[in-house]
Amino acid sequence: MGKTGYKEFLSRPATGNHFVQVYQDDDLLVDAVCHFISDELKPTEGVVVIATPEHQDAIIAQLSAQSEALNQALQSDQFVFHNAETLLSSFMVDGMPDREKCFSVIIPILEQAAQKYQTVRAFGEMVDILWQAGHKNAASTLEKYWNELIQKHAFSLLCAYRVDNLDPTAYYGDIECLCATHTHFIPAQDFDQLEKAVSKASENVMGVSLSGMMGSIAKFPHPTTIMPAAQASLLYISKTMPVTTDYILTQVRSHLTKAANQISKQA
């Protein structure tokens, strides 16, 4: 998939793609969303953004500054924004998203865009609102509803979760849970730097480099979700060698921190 990071994954999204971006930095989130909804955007494509008010403002500000064409598109009906918190509350029943209510809210939004545009790109963070509140089952259920909608409507979807993919506890089910409902998993880190960090850490701890693990990883049952090889390696390690996972991830984080500091000094 290339080695330029999340932009490679999110470029030219295809109908049916269901991406998940994990992040800890709001700036990275906003940058990823803006790239997803605007990269090579055609006049025949509509955009639906379901975000918190804070993220909406940041997304609009960044798109407006990118180009005059995007600024004009924002003023038209090509871009439609909805408040994620308000929309979510309209179809929650007893702590779970109600399927009929959810579809009655989301389908008109998609159909309205589809009436004017051939395809639609959508970003939503209602799932993360549920996730951060501790309602992970509800978030997974809502993701399944989104997948039902993707099968019936011509759109691609980006979701985002504030999840640390270098936290060992995330490998006790959270990351696999996210993979189960998405076609692409995008770690927050730069892919090149992540690959180098995982290679160094695995070699230091286990004496095996990232390339040396590829044969074993290919035989290991793992989610069909598309992701960078380094992230697949971390999933593999967490399942086959759980005792060493903490050591690996600690070193990966250390290597990434050093790399980021070096880049900052050069800048």
Confidence of residue 221 (pLDDT cuts 50, 70, 90): low
For residues 125 and 202, state if they share a domain: no
Does the pLDDT at position 219 exceed 90? Answer: no
1 located within any domain: no
> What average pLDDT score do residues 27-45 get?
95
For residues 27 and 91, state if they share a domain: yes
For residues 82 and 177, state if they share a domain: yes
For residues 183 and 217, state if they share a domain: no
For residues 140 and 161, state if they share a domain: yes
Pick from 50-59, 70-79, 181-190, 197-206: least confident: 197-206
How long a stretch of residues is the chain? 267
> What average pLDDT score do residues 177-204 get?
91
Select from 188, 210, 233 the last residue of a domain.
188
| pTM, 2 dp | 0.92
Pick from 83-97, 138-152, 179-193: least confident: 179-193
For residues 205 and 128, state if they share a domain: no
For residues 64 and 167, state if they share a domain: yes
For residues 199 and 182, state if they share a domain: no
pLDDT at res. 5: 75
Residue 136: partners with Cβ closer than 8 Å, 6 or more residues away: 130, 174, 177
pLDDT at res. 214: 58
Select from 126, 154, 188 the last residue of a domain.
188
Does the pLDDT at position 115 exceed 90? Answer: yes
For residues 170 and 197, state if they share a domain: no
Does the pLDDT at position 3 exceed 50? Answer: no
Q: Residue 211 belongs to what domain range? A: 192-266
pLDDT at res. 2: 40
Confidence of residue 60 (pLDDT cuts 50, 70, 90): very high
DSSP 219-247: HS-----B--HHHHHHHHHHHH-HHHHHH
Quote the number of domains for the chain.
2
**Ranges of H-type helices in the chain:** 6-10, 26-38, 53-66, 68-75, 84-89, 99-116, 126-132, 136-152, 174-180, 191-206, 210-219, 229-240, 242-266
Confidence of residue 262 (pLDDT cuts 50, 70, 90): confident
Q: Which residue, chain included where needed, has tokens 């798109």?
A: 63
225 located within any domain: yes
Select from 158, 188, 218 the last residue of a domain.
188
For residues 147 and 40, state if they share a domain: yes
> What average pLDDT score do residues 158-166 get?
97
> What average pLDDT score do residues 76-94 get?
97
For residues 227 and 122, state if they share a domain: no
pLDDT at res. 236: 84
> What average pLDDT score do residues 123-152 get?
98
- Provide the CATH number for the domain around residue 135: 3.40.50.300
Chain segment 229-252, per-residue pLDDT in tens: 889 889 888 888 888 889 999 999
